[in-house]
Amino acid sequence: MGGDFGMPVTLPAALSFAKQSPHVSLLLVGRQAEIERELDKLRRSDDGISDDRLKIVHASEVVAMDDAVEVALRRKKDSSMRIGVETVKDGRAQALVSAGNTGALMSISRYVLKTLDGIDRPAIAAALPNQKGTATTVLDLGANVDCSAEHLLQFAIMGTALAQQNQSDPLPTLGLLNIGEEIIKGNDVVKQAAELLRASSLNFQGNVEGNDIFKGTVDVVVCDGFVGNVVLKSAEGMSHMLGSMIQEEFHRDVLSMLAGMVARPVLNRFRRRVDNRRYNGAALLGLKGVVFKSHGAADEYAFKNALQRAHDAVTSDLLKRISTTVTGLTQHPAQEGVQILANDNP
């Protein structure tokens, strides 16, 4: 029910995803009568999807994009977002995907699902396209503005597990976002986090800078939520700008149009590489359940990709891998020593 466009995007995307994933069933959470009307319009032609694979779960309320977190959490207890999270908690669903209010989704998910053992705060993680043609997993992207060194270590653990799923890499490389690569750079929290990461069993490569995200220097980049959200919004703006510039050049004049016709295959490949819709779907990591946040302005293609990413998180057993890694690191002797050093470090 949420996002900038609601059911005209989410329902066609759900049907398209269901067609390509015949083993998956979908719970469509929201106002039943409205969902049924939209489904009737979409299913007048035979879509080949049986009714038992698409079930409507009624919720009488909707969290608006501008609703305060308090309203969503305390007053709208029968919202589609709240009921959707509860389907994950009670096992009716293995994952939730929402394009709705990000703050409300995080707050409701944390309240209903709670956090995994060993994780203090959930984090928002997303994959950003890089020049290698792959993607760099970045977190936190806005859930936690103020973080301790231990929180950044936990983000690194969760980001590593997510990158393993996205890239099928058993040991993803990890970098800590900083204002320079040198060990002496950064504030006290970042320096202490680097010490913790160096002592851990994670594949830590040291400090990285903002441009390393898009170079693909490492597979995972960790930062606090304030910095991460600025990075995310900047990346989205750059992606839209590049797409608009390419489109404008095609129509500038006759010579540009002719040149564009020759270069179109190359430009289209470039546009696809930087298209953030391919990587839509930010994971809310650290919860006792799989929750993915789609961009509010996602179109059908982008929302379908968010569904696919949530599906992949379930099939790759993301929650178990995070828990296993957290347990392993907390039992690591070197980790305990550095933890004491970090706490005693002025």
Residues 61 and 157 in one domain: no
- In this structure, is residue 121 part of a structural domain? no
Residues 59 and 189 in one domain: no
Residue 290, SS3 per DSSP? strand
Residues 27 and 98 in one domain: yes
Burial 76-107 (b: 16+ CB within 10 A, else e): beebbbbbbbbbbbeeebbbbbbbbbbbbbbb
Residue 301 is part of a domain; what is its CATH number? Answer: 3.40.718.10
Residues 55 and 137 in one domain: no
What pLDDT is recorded for position 26? Answer: 96
The radius of gyration of the chain's CA atoms, rounded to the nearest angstrom, is 21
214 with 237: CB under 8 angstroms?
Answer: no
In whole angstroms, what is the distance from residue 172 CA to residue 156 CA? Answer: 11
- In this structure, is residue 119 part of a structural domain? no
- In this structure, is residue 122 part of a structural domain? no
- In this structure, is residue 241 part of a structural domain? yes
What pLDDT is recorded for position 43? Answer: 77
- In this structure, is residue 198 part of a structural domain? yes
What pLDDT is recorded for position 14? Answer: 94
Residues 82 and 184 in one domain: no
Residues 224 and 323 in one domain: yes
What pLDDT is recorded for position 331? Answer: 62
Residues 259 and 294 in one domain: no
What pLDDT is recorded for position 306? Answer: 96
The DSSP secondary-structure symbol of 187 reads -
What pLDDT is recorded for position 333? Answer: 40
Residues 89 and 200 in one domain: no
143 with 336: CB under 8 angstroms?
Answer: no
Tens place of pLDDT per residue across the chain (346 aa)? 989 999 999 999 999 999 999 999 999 999 999 999 999 888 766 566 777 899 999 999 999 999 999 999 999 999 999 999 999 999 999 999 999 999 999 999 999 999 999 999 999 999 988 888 888 999 999 999 999 999 999 999 999 999 987 766 788 999 999 999 999 999 999 999 999 999 999 999 999 999 999 999 999 999 999 999 999 888 777 666 666 665 665 556 555 655 555 555 654 554 555 567 888 999 999 999 999 999 999 999 999 999 999 999 999 999 999 998 888 776 654 444 333 333 333 3
What pLDDT is recorded for position 129? Answer: 87
Q: What domain count does the chain have?
A: 2
In whole angstroms, what is the distance from residue 122 CA to residue 118 CA? Answer: 11
Residues 209 and 293 in one domain: no
Residues 176 and 190 in one domain: yes
What pLDDT is recorded for position 160? Answer: 93
- In this structure, is residue 120 part of a structural domain? no
Structure tokens given for 318: 């993301």
What pLDDT is recorded for position 252? Answer: 60
What pLDDT is recorded for position 338? Answer: 38
What pLDDT is recorded for position 187? Answer: 94
Residues 181 and 227 in one domain: yes
- In this structure, is residue 118 part of a structural domain? no
- In this structure, is residue 95 part of a structural domain? yes
Q: What is the pTM of this model?
A: 0.85
Residues 189 and 40 in one domain: no
For 59, the domain range is 1-113+284-314
In whole angstroms, what is the distance from residue 302 CA to residue 37 CA? Answer: 23
What is the DSSP code string of 99-159? -S-HHHHHHHHHHHH-BPTT-SS-EEEEEEE-TTSSEEEEE-SSS-SS--HHHHHHHHHHH
